[in-house]
Amino acid sequence: MLIMTDSELPYDTWLEEALRGVIRRALRHTAEHGLSGGHHLYLTFATGAEGVELAPELRAKYADEMTIVLQHQFWDLTVEEDCVGVTLKFHGRPSRIVIPFDAISAFGDPSVNFGLQLKTLSAELSEGFSPDTEGYAAQGTEEPATGEAGGQVIALDSFRKK
């Protein structure tokens, strides 16, 4: 009988990959079909993670983490295998943001009470999304979106062995 160690089956890594696949799929659907009804998508990401492209003034203001909301005013949403890019307006000026999927720490669609909390490249930035956090920028502005921001956040740590 073969005895396997925990390192032979990296379930936590596979689960993270699968959840990022859900995010990728939701964003691809949004890029192709737009958002209908009350859907709006929250993306929280580590601004200092490798591969994040962000205007210098936004990086200075959101040095650790930022949450963007895709709802009414976003343009040029592109979804690649390893990253998502979108143009948002900040202070009336368009700004392109590119976010590697590995930098995303939370994703949510409050309109259907759905949310995911993920690990990022920087473990200390994996607290999830919330419009009450410092790094919140809604629809490319700095004002919270209307509507409830609650949702079902799935913390993966509760499923891991301690």
Model confidence pLDDT, tens digit, residues 131-161: 443 343 434 333 333 333 333 334 444 444 4
Give the pairing type, strands 65-70 and 136-137. Answer: parallel
CB contact set of 12 (below 8 Å; sequence gap of 6+): 156, 160
| Under 8 Å between Cβ of 115 and 151 | yes
d(CA 138, CA 11): 34
What's the confidence (pLDDT) of residue 26?
Answer: 96
Model confidence pLDDT, tens digit, residues 61-70: 999 999 999 9
Alpha helices in the chain (DSSP H): 11-33, 56-61
Domains of the chain are 10-159 (2.30.30.220)
**Which residue from 17, 81, 97, 10 is spatially nearest to 49, judged by alpha carbons?**
97
d(CA 114, CA 6): 30
Give the pairing type, strands 114-117 and 153-155. Answer: parallel
Spans in the chain with pLDDT lower than 70: 1-7, 120-162
Q: Which amino acid is located at 75 in the chain?
A: W
What's the confidence (pLDDT) of residue 7?
Answer: 63
What's the confidence (pLDDT) of residue 120?
Answer: 64
What's the confidence (pLDDT) of residue 37?
Answer: 87
| Under 8 Å between Cβ of 3 and 144 | no
